[in-house]
């Protein structure tokens, strides 16, 4: 789902914040709070890192089936957009607008 997330965020004029899966639950919670995340896309193997999150969590099970939560999320987006696709998007005109937020964590 990674490439979809990166391109989808650009299309939505939002900011993506990838999180290292080697971090602890507490470290991830700090990043989610500090970054003011509004939605979490997480692979099913890492749901333990986002337990207790205060924003919607979409779990990706990598099945591709209609009942997969991620596929349902994509379908709702298609319905919301009216399937206009990339040509129907309003692009960000400010080339300096943020599109990614990255955190570095050092264990001392």
Ramachandran class of 11: left when φ > 0, alpha when ψ lies in -120 to 50, beta otherwise: alpha
For residues 82-98, average pLDDT: 77
State how far the Cα of 33 lies from the Cα of 36, in Å rounded to an integer: 5
- Contacts with 95 (C-beta within 8 Å, 6 or more apart), sequence order: none
Under the banding of pLDDT at 50, 70 and 90, the label for residue 55 is very high
User: By the 8 A CB rule, do 68 and 61 touch?
Assistant: yes
User: By the 8 A CB rule, do 1 and 40 touch?
Assistant: no
For residues 45-53, average pLDDT: 96
State how far the Cα of 70 lies from the Cα of 58, in Å rounded to an integer: 6
Under the banding of pLDDT at 50, 70 and 90, the label for residue 7 is confident
Q: What percent of the chain has pLDDT over 90?
A: 44
Model pLDDT, residue 74: 77
User: By the 8 A CB rule, do 28 and 50 touch?
Assistant: yes
């Amino acid at each position: 789902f990674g490439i979809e997330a990166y391109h989808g965020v650009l299309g939505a004029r939002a900011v993506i914040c990838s999180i290292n899966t080697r971090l602890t639950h507490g470290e991830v919670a700090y990043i989610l709070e500090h970054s003011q995340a509004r939605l979490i896309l997480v692979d099913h193997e890492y749901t333990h890192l986002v337990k207790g999150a205060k924003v919607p969590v979409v779990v990706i099970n990598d099945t591709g089936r209609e009942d997969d939560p991620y596929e349902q999320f994509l379908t709702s987006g298609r319905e919301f957009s009216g399937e206009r696709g990339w040509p129907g998007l309003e692009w960000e005109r400010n080339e300096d607008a943020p599109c990614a937020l990255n955190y570095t964590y050092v264990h001392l």
